[in-house]
Amino acid sequence: MRSILEGFAYGNISPEAQTFKPGSQYAQAIRAAASNEEKLLAKLSDEEKLIFQKFIDAQGEINSLTAVKNFVYGYKLSLLMTTEAFITSGTIVGEDE
């Protein structure tokens, strides 16, 4: 891979593909969600399970859309911060004095 941009363009770098440590807070939250989902599904009728699955699917879509929106917002914000750093770099090296 020659650059981050090329890796991103070829799909070798993906902002949504992330790993997490088995004992992390994230892992604990996933484990709790899965455990509670199993308990809930055991108590639901087939029709209720279908409704619940539709809810899970809709929530997944919301999460995906939110992740993309947050990624774009964060990227734009970081570009603005970088731009400001370049524009105001003269104050750091004493050019404005």
Residue pair 10/16 in contact (Cβ under 8 Å)? The answer is no
Q: pLDDT tens digits for 60-78?
A: 999 989 988 998 999 999 9
pTM: 0.66
Q: pLDDT tens digits for 12-58?
A: 887 767 788 999 999 999 999 999 999 999 999 999 999 999 999 99
Q: What is the DSSP string of the chain?
A: ---HHHHHHTTSS-TT-----TTSHHHHHHHHHHHHHHHHHHHS-HHHHHHHHHHHHHHHHHHHHHHHHHHHHHHHHHHHHHHHHHHTHHHHHTTT-
Q: 21 exposed, middle or buried (CB, 10 Å; 0-12, 13-18, 19+)?
A: exposed
